[in-house]
Amino acid sequence: MNLKVKLENGAPLPRHAKPGDAGLDLTSRDAVNIRPGEIRFVGTGVSVEIPDGHFGLIAPRSGLACKHGITFANTPGIIDSGYRGEIKVALHNVGEKEYAVHRDERICQLIILPYEHCSCIEVDELSETERGDGGFGSTGDA
């Protein structure tokens, strides 16, 4: 798939870091400090034209989350195919120390996925399954 990308503010072209990687790395255009508990919007300088029948999924980078407690306030982020603005992420510091995001730092990944458009139909009953209405923790896994 070819993805049309518009770059601003010196942003690099999104790329897969290694062969076989699902996500395209996006970098910060801003240098910001994020205090513990704080949420900051950070621009990537990237806008995309996602083909019809697909959407963009923005996911946090595992290294930032595990090493520094930096994740998203809204994870995952969804980019609809009709959106043409800059991709911005709401970085949330759930760690105990202030974190400095540097310009050009990889802050998230963009994954392009297909989807099915659904028409909802109201019914009185749903079909039976083995799981039924068992919710959180119902499979016995921690």
Mean pLDDT over 102-125 rounds to 95
Judged against a pLDDT cut of 70, whether residue 2 lies above it is answered with yes
The 10s digit of each residue's pLDDT in 20-29 is: 999 999 999 9
Asked if residue 122 belongs to a domain, the reply is no
Name the band, by pLDDT with cuts 50, 70 and 90, for residue 127. Answer: very high
Asked if residue 68 belongs to a domain, the reply is yes
Judged against a pLDDT cut of 70, whether residue 140 lies above it is answered with no
Question: Range of 40's domain?
Answer: 4-114
pLDDT of residue 20: 92
Asked if residue 18 belongs to a domain, the reply is yes
Asked if residue 97 belongs to a domain, the reply is yes
Are 90 and 74 within 8 A, CB to CB? yes
Asked if residue 129 belongs to a domain, the reply is no
Asked if residue 16 belongs to a domain, the reply is yes
- The CATH number of the domain holding residue 19 is 2.70.40.10
- H-helix segments, the chain: 62-68
Cα–Cα distance measured from residue 103 to residue 86, given in angstroms and rounded to the nearest whole number: 16
Judged against a pLDDT cut of 60, whether residue 142 lies above it is answered with no
Number of domains in the chain: 1
